[in-house]
Amino acid sequence: MTATALSTGRDDLLGVAAQRRLTGLWLLALTVGLVLTGLVAVGTGAIGIAPATVARIIGYHLVGLPGEVTWTPPQEAIVWQVRLPRVLLGMLVGAGLAVCGVALQAMVRNVLADPYLLGINSGASSGAAAAILFGAGAGFGQYALSTSAFLGALAAALLVFLIARSGGRVTSIRLLLAGVAVGYALYATTSFLIFASGSAEGSRSVMFWLLGSLGLARWDALLLVAALVLGGTIIYLTVAGRRLDVLAIGDETAQTLGVSPDRFRMRLLVLVSLSVGVLVSAAGSIGFVGLVVPHLARRLVGAPHVRVVPVAALLGAILLVWADVVARVLLAPQEIPIGIITALLGAPFLLVLIRRLHATGA
């Protein structure tokens, strides 16, 4: 580390330019990885389609190229109507959960923060389930679902933070326990609402809310809303990177460096709740992505959020699409809920983190 900083020479006193080049390379590599992931994932399934054919079909739909049709109509329907929206939703969910994890970890100065562990996902599912049960505005459709999911997420997040905040400091143990308690209570509420509404086997089952699924993805308004909300969130968090750095150090430090900690935290909380609300109403509750991915991103490019946020978004997108591929093919033709795959990856990771916390006495 020291050697690289020294070898960067006089023009790059603090090694900033070298670090930016490294981040740029990672962003490029991950973007290429994401595109390849998309092509392979769309081609994978009961009927396999070569990535090159997938690329041609997508190119044909987007810009009318290439003019010559070399694929069958069923292939085209599978790629464009079924699998592409699903893969795109997977990318959005993965990227969104990852950056929400980054934002939450900075807000509470705790590496264990994650929308799923903190009960924000379950708040969103309660809100969405309530909207389904009480049939809020049929004409409003998907928007009613997302809006009430957002409100549920916000309420859950506020509740958890109020409980966890003891004397201005959020301790790991209180945060996790408050998240678990609020999460369980709200999942029970969600399940009750689903059964009460008599649609337990409907499009959004208890399984959907607990473990998530990308199976409902299609070209609809919800996908568009998710893309807009998450695009906005990722851009905002990247631009606010320096403020996130400062907030992650401490409230007093934030204030002396020109950031109003309470106002900024509230803004982040609304943004995270909005993202989680949209994601959960589209794909149910998928855990651990927001916990694991920020750590991987920091491993690659260091701690400054201006670098962590975009890298985490790309990593999260790639990770979730592959998790969905595994969920689809492992027990094919049966599909496993994607949350099982992410939990299998994430739970051991959480254990390692808890062990490390214990070791440092934090």
Partner 1 sequence: MIEATGVSWHYGANPVIDGVSVTARPGRVLGLIGPNGTGKTTLLRLLYGALRSPHGRVLVDGDALSSLPAREAARRLAVVVQETGGETALTVAELVLLGRGPHLSTFQRTGPADHEIAARCLTRVGAAHLGARAFASLSGGERQRVLIARALAQQATHLLLDEPTNHLDIRYQHEVLHLVRDLGTCSVVVLHDLNLAARYCDDLVLLGRHGVAAAGTTDEVLDPAVLEPVYGIGIRRLELDGAIHLLFHPIDQSIDRRIDERSAA
Chain residues that interact with partner 1, rule: CB under 8 A: 1-2, 4-5, 11-16, 109, 239-240, 242-243, 245-246, 248-250, 252-253, 255-260, 298, 302-304, 306, 362
Q: Show the tokens assigned to 187.
A: 């999942």
Question: Cβ of residue 163: shortest distance to partner 1, in angstroms?
Answer: 22
Total Cβ atoms within 10 A of residue 17: 13
Q: Show the tokens assigned to 276.
A: 């989680």
Question: Cβ of residue 303: shortest distance to partner 1, in angstroms?
Answer: 4
Question: Cβ of residue 165: shortest distance to partner 1, in angstroms?
Answer: 17
Residue 68 or residue 263: which is nearer to partner 1 going by CB? 263
Q: Are 28 and 45 in contact (CB under 8 A)?
A: no
Rounded to whole angstroms, what are the CA distances from 190 to 60, 99, 277, 289? 42, 25, 14, 22
Phi-psi region of 9 (alpha: psi -120 to 50; beta: other; left: phi over 0): left
Q: How far apart are CA 207 and CA 292, in angstroms?
A: 23
Residue 62 or residue 263: which is nearer to partner 1 going by CB? 263
DSSP string, 24-55: HHHHHHHHHHHHHHHHHHHH-SSS---HHHHH
Question: Cβ of residue 297: shortest distance to partner 1, in angstroms?
Answer: 11
Which 3 state secondary structure label does DSSP give 169?
strand
Residue 20 or residue 329: which is nearer to partner 1 going by CB? 20
Q: How far apart are CA 66 and CA 203, in angstroms?
A: 37
Residue 33 or residue 304: which is nearer to partner 1 going by CB? 304
Which 3 state secondary structure label does DSSP give 166?
strand
Residue 45 or residue 310: which is nearer to partner 1 going by CB? 310
Question: Cβ of residue 75: shortest distance to partner 1, in angstroms?
Answer: 44
Question: Cβ of residue 255: shortest distance to partner 1, in angstroms?
Answer: 6
Question: Cβ of residue 244: shortest distance to partner 1, in angstroms?
Answer: 11
Residue 25 or residue 32: which is nearer to partner 1 going by CB? 25
Which residues have CB under 8 Å from 272's CB, separation 6+? 100, 103, 104, 115, 120, 153, 157, 233
Residue 56 or residue 298: which is nearer to partner 1 going by CB? 298
Q: Are 107 and 175 in contact (CB under 8 A)?
A: no
Residue 23 or residue 122: which is nearer to partner 1 going by CB? 23
Question: Cβ of residue 16: shortest distance to partner 1, in angstroms?
Answer: 6
Which of 282, 149, 135 is CA-nearest to residue 204?
Answer: 282
Q: How far apart are CA 335 and CA 37, in angstroms?
A: 20
Q: Are 307 and 245 in contact (CB under 8 A)?
A: no
Residue 137 or residue 302: which is nearer to partner 1 going by CB? 302
Question: Cβ of residue 302: shortest distance to partner 1, in angstroms?
Answer: 7
Q: How far apart are CA 304 and CA 298, in angstroms?
A: 8
